Chains A and B, each alone.
Chain A
Amino acid sequence: MLMKGKKGIIFAGAFIGVVAVLLVYFGNPANMGFCIACFIRDISGAIGLHRAEVVQYIRPEIIGLVLGAFILSLINKEFASKGGSSPFARFVLGIVVMIGALMFLGCPLRMILRLGGGDLNALLGLVGFIAGIFVGVFFLNKGFSLKRNYKMSKIEGYIFPALNIGLFVLLLAAPAFIFFSEKGPGSMSAPILISLAAGLLVGALAQKTRLCMVGGTRDMLLFRDNHLLLGFIGILVFSIIANLIFGYFKLGFNNQPIAHTDGMWNFLGMAVVGWGSVLLGGCPLRQLILSGEGNADSAVTVMGMLVGAGIAHNFGLASSAAGATINGKIAVIICIVFLAIISSFSSDIFSKLKK
């Protein structure tokens, strides 16, 4: 019964908050026990989709998250091959979410972990994130939909988990065509088996509890339902506690690890992530979990994020500790315009105007 209802989601959040800090203890970059966006970006670099030398590594956490969700969904019979719900819109939304996340320097999960480490820049990110969710919810209430999915042939759902096993083989074999950072965040990592185990456990837990960073605020706004929000708060509270215990907690805006202090662009970057994630039906973590459960639309979204990371670094869109780039600012504005267009045309706004 531990995993049922509110206790289950709070436990999942607490567990993730503590595991994330432990991963930093074992070698992951600071405030980056988990970061779905950063880790997919590192994988993108490892397979050569971008050549930013400091962020290239095949992160076993990602592989673990997918396979943990995959294995548990097979056991509890929730695995189902599905797809065909606006796949290309989802692919591009994956790119958009990645560009927003790399403006801020973190996915919603890392945003909480940054807050848990005392990084107040993440507070502006959080406000932007909530603002983005608010806009997304507005369009949901106006009938926004990417339309339904369909049953796919069984093999469809197995492809993505299988690719992750292949990725793990590449990590162990380390052939010359895979890039591994020798300095910077990409060179900092917990031992492979610890990272993999953390991913597997958290992946299974997130599959079981449906934990979603964007779902918490969204359901509060839509239905006054605090279920998922409790998971979000669990991560925050327990990462603060764990960071205090390990002496990692450092309150302030300046000199925070892998972060910048440009408040407006932290806000706008996370607004793009929040808005885009509402349209996708879940945060980057949730997309990974769903893709492990056989959802091909989510697998396509993750592929969009992988390509988005390549674009973000090749075009100089990603921020660094030095701050946001001009190219990145232009890209975020383009993303906002794109989100506005897709939100409007996939909802009833225009059809109601005609009447």
Chain B
Amino acid sequence: MTRIDTCGMSCPQPVLMTKKALEKDPEGAEIIVDNNTAKENVVRFVRSAGYTASITEKDDVYIIEARK
């Protein structure tokens, strides 16, 4: 599974990076985000693309796991 780090990126790049990662590896991806806005946007995108999204909070970041 691809792992991407979107920390510090401004809108809409976390979602764009997620989109590209899932196009490359449709199986799923692990996306690290560092703010609520990016978390909501990435989760919304992942779900609308037909994946499940599970979120874990770790230190200052969220790790979103997108799976088929």
Contact = CB atoms under 8 A, between A and B. Distances in A.
B48 to A, nearest CB: 7
A218 B45 CA distance: 14
Nearest to B48: A225
A219 B12 contact: yes
A223 B47 CA distance: 12
B16 to A, nearest CB: 6
A310 B62 CA distance: 41
B10 A281 contact: yes
Contact of A78 (B10, B12, B35, B48): B35
B11 A85 contact: no
B13 A145 contact: yes
A215 interface: yes
Interface in B5-55: 7-13, 15-16, 19, 35-37, 40, 44-45, 48
Contacts, number: 51
A80 B48 CA distance: 29
Contact of B7 (A148, A215, A219, A224): A148
> Is chain B's binding surface mostly helix, strand, loop or mixed?
helix
B38 to A, nearest CB: 10
A140 B12 contact: yes
Given A210-B37, A225-B44, A225-B45, A149 B16 contact: no
Contacts of A148: 7-9
B11 A82 contact: no
Contacts of A140: 12-13, 16
Interface in A201-236: 210, 212, 215, 218-219, 222-225, 227
A149 B8 contact: yes
A78 B19 contact: no
B46 to A, nearest CB: 11
A149 B10 CA distance: 8
Contacts of B37: 78, 210
Given A80-B35, A223-B45, A85 B8 contact: yes
A292 interface: no
Contact of B16 (A80, A150, A222, A227): A222
Interface of B: 7-13, 15-16, 19, 35-37, 40, 44-45, 48
28 contacts: A78-B35, A78-B36, A82-B8, A85-B8, A85-B10, A140-B16, A141-B16, A145-B13, A148-B7, A148-B8, A149-B9, A212-B11, A218-B12, A219-B12, A219-B15, A222-B16, A222-B19, A223-B12, A223-B15, A223-B45, A223-B48, A225-B44, A225-B45, A227-B44, A281-B11, A281-B12, A282-B10, A282-B11
